[in-house]
Chain A
Amino acid sequence: MTTLPTSTDKKLGLVIDLDTCVGCHACVISCKGWNTENYGAPLSDQDPYGAEPSGTFLNRVHSYEIQPEAAPAQLIHFPKSCLHCEDAPCVTVCPTGASYKRVEDGIVLVNEQDCIGCGLCAWACPYGAREMDATEKVMKKCTLCVDRIYNENLPEEDREPACVRTCPAGARHFGDFADPDSNVSKLTAERGGMDLMPEMGTKPVNKYLPPRLKDRDRSQDVDILAPLLDPVATESTGFLGWLDKALENMPGGKT
């Protein structure tokens, strides 16, 4: 059924901390590894050792530069996977019912036996979270490691998504957003967790924690009391003053 559930018992999802992510891509690798060997069709690569390698990934890490108006530029590493939206447009467009959102925990999944590979769900997703596998010709997406989180054959500490388990920086957190006391709900509340493209109306479950404001060296800043102090020399004097004038008087010196 591709109509969305009106509500889900749990809202499992991720918090991704943009302040902490170091951009090491370990989550990309562990995701590809786990999901190639487990749930559903493997994530294929095309021409992996050749001139034009490409492949299916359920999690990719972008990097962005922010240039604030009056501060140094900042580099933000930005992991992106399925946000398991509450109002998931990828689910409702599916003609076969292969795409669905689970009532029990809100995970958005694809039943690959029913997928006709039309690609419409990937069109509907604003985040690029769905990729058609070029070998299997079915739509692949993040399963929130549904085959890990409930897997009693794994030690308890491994029952979380592979990307969360592997992150060396602790930038990824897994939990239930329906529970206001969960680790992810608290983190979201404390750090101002945000939605990506809220104007798309998808109501993403996954939240992103914005980077904290950076400290910077303020020793060179002009003191607010400066106008009351001795006038600051605006022209250089002494040897530097002489050098400045001498260089300016040379041909091509004046600009």
Chain B
Amino acid sequence: MHPAPSVILFSTLSGLGFGLLAFLGLGMPAPTGFSAFVWFTLAYLLAVGGLIASTFHLGHPERAMKAFKQWRSSWLSREGICAVVALIVMAIYGAGLVFADTRFTLLGYLGAVLSVGTVFTTAMIYTQIRTVPRWHNLTTPFMFLSLCIAGGALLSGRVSLAIPLLVIAAVAQIAHWVVGDKAFAKSGTTIATATGLGARGDVRAFEPPHTGTNYLLKEFVYVIGRKHATKLRIIALVLMAVVPLVALTLTQTDAVSGVVVHLFAAIAVISHLVGVFAARWLFFAQAEHVVGLYYGKR
């Protein structure tokens, strides 16, 4: 699948943003006044920035409002609705903390559920796509959700929670890779079933329909960078989990204190973000769509 930068930016940034909103909603931390304003601004910049980035890949972004209509069947529609409701609920909760020094506890819990729910709907957009076997399994929502929650814990400074959550996220990411690597073969879809000619003998793509490329090949048969996939996976995992885990663990020891603690926390957050970017790029670049079979390509 073509790794569109707008979609990678969106899923990484809003994943982290909604993770932070969830922890703010749970009152971890529960700042008030100006400090709350800073926390909520950061979370909204990430979540809304990601959402705005996601509209860049639309052919007609001016019609985006129409996408709220089909929640009965479409995960993309559900995602839009869930995101808007989560942002409104958390805005009211945040306004209470910033302007009235009041914490509407229940509203915060509701906002937290909706924030995590938004990331779940994002994950389901990919999980439902049967034509991409790598995505069409439980490890996809598990990976998206665990990264969102771990990122939220990391960004909100819940060090004791972030350490185990990062480990879980790393396991989820590895599981997604391990399951995903076998998924295409397991799906049973081959050039034989695609053409229906398999019973006759070995089927080979002889001639493509056109000499030039087309939308399908550009969008679904993206093969650039696959040969570096293993290296990129290691880099992604180290940046996303190992570096933050080491940095966070060091902040818990006597060796690191004062301003250095904040420096280490910043390193952990930035490293995590870059690692998730790399992993999300792979999420698309390594995903193979069954339509490639018609072109003799995988």
Q: A: which residues have CB within 8 A of B?
A: 1-4, 18, 28, 52-57, 60-69, 71, 74-76, 78, 80, 89, 91-98, 114-120, 122-128, 131-132, 134, 136-138, 194-201, 208, 210-211
Contact = CB atoms under 8 A, between A and B. Distances in A.
A95 B58 contact: no
Contact of B60 (A115, A134, A196): A115
Interface string B66-79: 11111011111100
Contact of A62 (B58, B68, B294): B294
12 contacts: A2-B72, A57-B214, A66-B202, A67-B204, A74-B201, A95-B66, A114-B63, A115-B59, A120-B76, A123-B219, A127-B291, A132-B219
B197 A66 contact: yes
Interface residues on B, range: 35 or more
Interface of B: 1, 57-61, 63-64, 66-70, 72-77, 80, 125, 128-132, 187-189, 191, 193-197, 200-216, 219-220, 289-291, 294-295
A1 to B, nearest CB: 7
B75 A93 contact: yes
- Majority DSSP secondary structure for residues of A touching B: loop
Contact of B205 (A62, A134, A198): A62
Given A64-B203, A118-B76, A128 B220 contact: yes
Given A28-B209, A54-B213, A62-B207, A95 B77 contact: yes
B196 A126 contact: no
A80 B294 contact: yes
Given A117-B59, A200-B189, A54 B212 contact: yes
Contact of B196 (A61, A68, A71, A196): A196
A123 B289 contact: yes
Given A126-B291, A138-B59, A199-B188, A131 B214 contact: yes
A17 to B, nearest CB: 13
Contact of A120 (B125, B189, B205): B125
Contacts of B201: 66-69, 71, 74
Contacts of A68: 200-201
A68 B192 CA distance: 13
A116 B63 contact: yes
A18 B130 CA distance: 27
Given A75-B206, A197-B194, A116 B74 contact: no
Contact of A137 (B60, B125, B194, B219): B60
Nearest to A96: B66
Given A118-B57, A124-B129, A197-B193, 16 more contacts: A3-B72, A54-B210, A62-B207, A64-B205, A66-B201, A76-B197, A93-B76, A96-B67, A97-B70, A116-B58, A120-B125, A124-B131, A131-B214, A195-B196, A196-B194, A196-B196
A35 B76 CA distance: 29
Interface centre among B59, B69, B205, B291 (most CB of A within 10 A): B59
Contact of A194 (B187, B196, B207): B196
Contacts of A62: 205, 207-209, 294-295
In order of increasing CB-CB distance, the 4 nearest A-B pairs are A117-B59, A137-B59, A68-B201, A60-B209
Given A56-B215, A97-B69, A125-B131, A63 B206 contact: yes
A132 B73 contact: no
